[in-house]
Amino acid sequence: MTNTQYDVVAIGNAIVDILAQADDAFLAAEGMNKGSMQLMFSPEDADALYDKMGPGREISGGSAANTVAGMAALGDRCGFIGQVADDQLGQVFGHDIRAQGVRFDTAPRAGDPTTARCLIFVTPDGQRTMNTFLGASQFLPEAALDRAMIESAAILYLEGYLWDPEEPRAAMRAAIDYARGAGRKVAFTLSDVFCISRHGDDFRRLLADGLIDILFANENELLALAQGEDFEAAVSAISAQVPVLVVTRGEHGAIAVSNGERAEVGAEPIERVVDTTGAGDLFAAGFLHGQAKGQDLSTSLRTGALCAAEIISHYGARPEVDLKAMIAQKLG
Ligand SMILES: OC[C@H]1O[C@H](O)[C@H](O)[C@@H]1O
């Protein structure tokens, strides 16, 4: 196997988030399922919902993009592949991810639709409820893959959200072949229960075919994938099919299981949960950073917990502190 030029290359939705405060009554009136992500299928729907938002904060997002931005902030070598449009939000997304130190070369797509945006309503308890207009991101073609970059990354990281639209799904399947052909690892995040309701059979097949090396899930996603209701039974069933399983459990911390070894970490205490957007993404950043550095499961989990704690202490899913210095100070 040749040397790597990247620790992680991710493929994901290229999204700019717009975050605003809202209360539970607003979510109920709009028929939103608190804590979930739902898709908006037309720009008109996105505009109509935006009109109802309070004052917003625009911050680049996208699940896998947040993860590589976090890893770059930890000092890792990262690349990102995702589709923006040739418009202002696309420029903002590209600027932010490159400014964080992530290589991002995917050419913008001309014409409609616009760059993806996610309208995020944050309730006083810090919970985030997301409404995504996927725009250009759902048209990521296989031709946009930088094969050499994928083959030279230790880990290819994929987000379940992007399994929904057809073109990126085909691109991700090709990327898995490139990565595995080069002897690299593939990491996958299940993203949301709705992704499993729509594509659970695909995800189970990827595991059965031995194509995933590191799987990230939260508790509900794990249960949906295992098609069961018992957490421990689901952990046993899924961990038997993947070399590394990571399950985040919100305020109850997280577990990782690898080759029969199990490690657990508690959630890092913080003064106030401001906004949970990106908590799982930054947990994945910390965990993958640990794995990239050859650290054990417990240290990788702890790094994930610390990064997640930082991200939920402010609005938005991109780090606001020097994560590398923070981890060095906390873990030595
Ligand atoms: O995981 C959080 C991310 O999911 C959505 O894709 C938003 O862009 C947000 O940044």
Phi-psi region of 151 (alpha: psi -120 to 50; beta: other; left: phi over 0): alpha
SS (H, E, C) 163-184: HCCHHHHHHHHHHHHHHHHCCC
Q: Given this model, what pLDDT does residue 332 score?
A: 80
Longest dimension (CA), the chain: 55
Q: What residues does each domain of the chain span?
A: 6-13+62-115+136-331
Which DSSP category does 282 fall into?
H
Please list the pLDDT of the chain residue by residue as tens digits (332 residues).
Answer: 679 999 999 999 999 999 999 999 999 999 999 999 999 999 999 999 999 999 999 999 999 999 999 999 999 999 999 999 999 999 999 999 999 999 999 999 999 999 999 999 999 999 999 999 999 999 999 999 999 999 999 999 999 999 989 999 999 999 999 999 999 999 999 999 999 999 999 999 999 999 999 999 999 999 999 999 999 999 999 999 999 999 999 889 999 999 999 999 999 999 999 999 999 999 999 999 999 999 999 999 999 999 999 999 999 999 999 999 999 999 98
- From atom 3 of ligand 1, which residue's Cα is the shortest distance away? 63
Is residue 286 within 8 A of residue 308, CB to CB? The reply is yes
Q: What is the per-residue DSSP string for 51-78?
A: HH--S-EEEE--HHHHHHHHHHHTT--E
Residue 261 CA to ligand 1 center (angstroms) comes to: 31
Q: Given this model, what pLDDT does residue 74 score?
A: 98
| φ/ψ of residue 118, rounded to 5 | -125, 120
Q: What whole-number distance in Å separates Cα of residue 257 and Cα of residue 275?
A: 28
Q: Which residue has the tokens 């508690």?
A: 266
Tokens of 107: 């050419």
Q: Given this model, what pLDDT does residue 1 score?
A: 62
Q: Side chain identity at 263, as an amino acid letter?
A: A
Tokens of 78: 């990262």
Q: What whole-number distance in Å separates Cα of residue 68 and Cα of residue 103?
A: 10
Return the CA Rg of the chain. Answer: 18
- From atom 10 of ligand 1, which residue's Cα is the shortest distance away? 61
Residue of 130, 137, 162, 282 with the most ligand 1 atoms within 8 Å of its CB, for mutation: 130
Is residue 304 within 8 A of residue 296, CB to CB? The reply is no
- From atom 5 of ligand 1, which residue's Cα is the shortest distance away? 62
ipTM above 0.85, yes or no: yes
Q: What is the per-residue DSSP string for 114-148?
A: PPEEEEEEE-TTS-EEEEEE-GGGGG--GGG--HH
Q: Is 192 helix (H, G, I), strand (E, B) or coil?
A: coil
Q: Side chain identity at 273, as an amino acid letter?
A: V
Residue of 277, 314, 315 with the most ligand 1 atoms within 8 Å of its CB, for mutation: 277
Q: What whole-number distance in Å separates Cα of residue 79 and Cα of residue 68?
A: 7
- From atom 8 of ligand 1, which residue's Cα is the shortest distance away? 62
Is residue 316 within 8 A of residue 17, CB to CB? The reply is yes
6-13+62-115+136-331 has CATH 3.40.1190.20 classification = yes
Pairing of strands 103-104, 78-81: parallel
Q: Which contiguous run of DSSP H or E holds residue 50?
A: helix 43-52
Q: What whole-number distance in Å separates Cα of residue 127 and Cα of residue 76?
A: 29
Kindly report the pTM of this predicted structure.
0.98
Residue of 57, 83, 84, 118 with the most ligand 1 atoms within 8 Å of its CB, for mutation: 118
Residue 332 CA to ligand 1 center (angstroms) comes to: 30
